[in-house]
Amino acid sequence: MSERLQSGDTAPAFTLPDADGKDVSLADHKGRKVIVYFYPKALTPGCTKQACDFTDNIDLLAGAGYDVIGVSPDKPERLAKFREQEHLKVTLVGDPSKEVLAAYGAYGEKQSYGKTVTGVIRSTFVVDEEGLVEHAFYNVRATGHVAKIIKDLKI
């Protein structure tokens, strides 16, 4: 399991394909705050709820200066289907190799229904304008997490 990131750490750089197969880099957002959230799988109930919550609050977050990027191990084709089916407005990128997930400490052993399994650890990071981690949230719940972020960030 990778080291967990903490406030003040440099956010690991990444370039990953979005739902349209175009590269999206964290560096593209320098000068803006970015919420990078990691979720296990597109088109599943919890991940859909979380993505829809971000979409429902995208204008509020953008107005406060935050961009939102969702990262999962899915391929661009599945992300495109997810975006279209759920009318999502957040940027979705795929990390099939799980290298970026691991770099953020968002892939490894976790508890699932009382068993230890290896997989995506639902996590969210707030990255500041300079690329430093402002907040690192691990093992977040899919439901209610966006509201908690908005409260924690005082938006």
* Least confident window among 25-29, 53-57, 108-112: 108-112
Instruction: Give the rounded percent of residues in the chain with a pLDDT score beyond 90.
Output: 91
User: Strands 33-38 and 123-127: what pairing?
Assistant: antiparallel
Confidence at residue 2, expressed as pLDDT on a 0 to 100 scale: 60
Contacts of 12 by beta carbon, 8 Å cutoff, 6+ apart: 5, 26, 100, 103, 104
The b/e string for 64-83 (b: 16+ C-beta within 10 A; e otherwise) is: eebbbbbbbbbebebbbebb
Give domain limits for the chain: 15-152
Pairing of strands 123-127, 66-72: unpaired
Pairing of strands 66-72, 91-94: parallel
pLDDT single digits (tens) 77-130: 999 999 999 999 999 999 999 999 999 999 998 887 889 989 999 999 999 999
Look up the CATH architecture of domain 15-152: 3-Layer(aba) Sandwich (3.40)
Rounded distance, CA 144 to CA 26, Å? 25
pTM, two decimal places = 0.95
Active site members: 47
